[in-house]
Amino acid sequence: MLTQTPVKDIICQQREFFATGKTKSVEWRIEQLKRLKQGILDDKEAIINAVKADLGRPDFEAYFEIAAISEINYALKHIKSWSKPKKVSTSIDQFPSSAQIYPEPLGVILIISPWNYPFSLLISPLVGAIAAGNCAILKPSEIAAHTSGAIAKMIEKTFDSPYIAVVEGGVEASQALLAEKFDHIFFTGGTAVGKIIMAAAAKHLTPVTLELGGKSPCIIDADVDLKYAAKRITWGKYLNAGQTCIAPDYLLADSRIKSDLLTEIKKCVNDFYGGDPFQSPDYARIISRRHLERLQPLLKDGKIVVGGECNPEEKYIAPTVIDGVDWDSPVMAEEIFGPILPVLEYTDLNVAIAEINARPKPLALYFFSKDKQKQELVLQQTSSGGVSINDTIMQVGVTDLPFGGVGDSGIGSYHGKASFDTFSHYKSVLKKGLWFDQSWRYPPYKDKLSLI
């Protein structure tokens, strides 16, 4: 743990620094974004190795963590136009006037992140906080301990703590931070902890962004190219061993193609990870023994049609597909967040939609179909944080698409311009001229109603 200064003191120093107005200069923010980019590049190997040590990630997937660099590049390209006040029109009864919306930074931000993408889920929101002109305290996940340490080192080398600081630690550290007043809290994690964060924030009337989880359905229509669908589902589910917030949690397959789909997924698992995925250099591990023990009982549910092997010592669970489950099965009770894919079937798409709508709103929803009318039906009849038609996960890579949940899967969004918006207050400003005055609003009001 690098930062030994008490939390109260860091917040106090950040408030003092924010009050100097230094962070309001757009040029200064640009400089800080460039520093962050350089800091990440300088420590790239250490960061990637830390992620690999925490999650047993293959190199290719570990590199996803430094995707924050593309967020920085995007912010650098647009920050000047984002920061400019925007004119809006005024009505004639305001004459002479002009009205503008001024983006202004919020102040001191708290960012709390989870362990599954332990670097990018802390640093991507930081990009938005810096671009919008804020100070920030970062609380990485204690469960991805190597990455937490690498982040602390990188941030301490790059920034002074009265501007950007890291507070490492677990629930206690988090709760010590939450006892203080911030100007915004950006939290990524589970829905249960999200409620704790929101309750703590409410005591100070602190606004929150909550990036939460949930069970993201993946519907597969009969009118589909099964080979491509299976490839994209298999990749999206078993990437990072299923520990991805927008991974397809379960499949809802048209009963006419379910059996063929399962055959294709089986082939894909074999093509991607070989006959023994334990030996594959391209397959990650479960973050901890505790998390594995949460997943292990789910392997007893239904009928395993792919995988099912589990090696607790090595924190390994094979890419697994489970058939023969229904809506009431234990595996369907909560977000799985691991490499276990239950498969349900439907005969009527409207009934499948009704089942989804009877449950908490998911973070992502996937629909595979060539039929444009059915695509539109699913889009119109369901609500979720985001949707990808005929793919999984890839929606997160479109910088211009705001990323976030709805209902139980979250509040607010970020990425690209949405990040700048999240960490800004849009101040409404009316400017009046003093060279002329309209008298319509002043008493006596006699006969003036007839003018409206």
Residue pointed to by tokens 């798409």: 349
Residue with Cβ nearer ligand NAD (319 or 362): 362
State the amino acid at position 25 in one-letter form: S
Q: Which residues bind ligand NAD (CB under 6 A)?
A: 112-116, 121, 139, 141-143, 170-171, 174-175, 188-190, 193, 196, 211-213, 245, 335, 337, 363, 405, 410
Backbone angles phi, psi at 399, to 5 degrees: -60, -35
Residue with Cβ nearer ligand NAD (55 or 108): 55
Nearest to 298 by CA among 322, 331, 337, 333: 331
| Alpha-carbon separation of residue 450 from 299, 354, 440, 446 (angstroms) | 75, 53, 11, 9
CB 255, min distance to ligand NAD, A: 29
Do 114 and 189 contact (CB within 8 A), yes or no?
A: yes
Q: Which residue is nearest to ligand NAD (CB)?
A: 213
User: Which member of 61, 65, 71, 211 is catalytic?
Assistant: 211
Task: Give, in degrees to the nearest 5, the angle at Cα 293 between 146 and 278.
Answer: 70
Residue with Cβ nearer ligand NAD (32 or 419): 419
CB 39, min distance to ligand NAD, A: 21
User: Which member of 135, 218, 245, 268 is catalytic?
Assistant: 245
Residue with Cβ nearer ligand NAD (103 or 169): 169
Q: What share of the chain is helix, strand, coil (3-state, %, to 5)?
A: 45, 20, 35
CB 191, min distance to ligand NAD, A: 6
Residue with Cβ nearer ligand NAD (46 or 196): 196
Bond from prior residue into 444 cis (ω within 30 degrees of 0): yes
Do 434 and 94 contact (CB within 8 A), yes or no?
A: no
Residue with Cβ nearer ligand NAD (10 or 224): 10
CB 177, min distance to ligand NAD, A: 8
CB 47, min distance to ligand NAD, A: 17
Burial class (CB in 10 A: 0-12, 13-18, 19+), 327: exposed
Nearest to 278 by CA among 247, 242, 314, 244: 314
User: Is 12 marked active-site?
Assistant: no
CB 41, min distance to ligand NAD, A: 24
Backbone angles phi, psi at 341, to 5 degrees: -120, 100
Q: Which two tokens stand for residue 66?
A: 């430094």
CB 400, min distance to ligand NAD, A: 17
Q: What is the DSSP letter of 256?
A: T
Do 47 and 154 contact (CB within 8 A), yes or no?
A: yes
Residue with Cβ nearer ligand NAD (133 or 214): 214
CB 416, min distance to ligand NAD, A: 15
Residue with Cβ nearer ligand NAD (113 or 234): 113
Cross-strand bridge partners of residue 108: 135
d(CA 40, CA 140): 16
Cross-strand bridge partners of residue 220: 253, 368
d(CA 403, CA 232): 20
Question: Using N-to-C axis directions, what is the helix angle for 372-381 and 349-357, rounded to 10°?
Answer: 20
Q: What is the DSSP letter of 24?
A: G
Catalytic positions, written as ranges: 211, 245
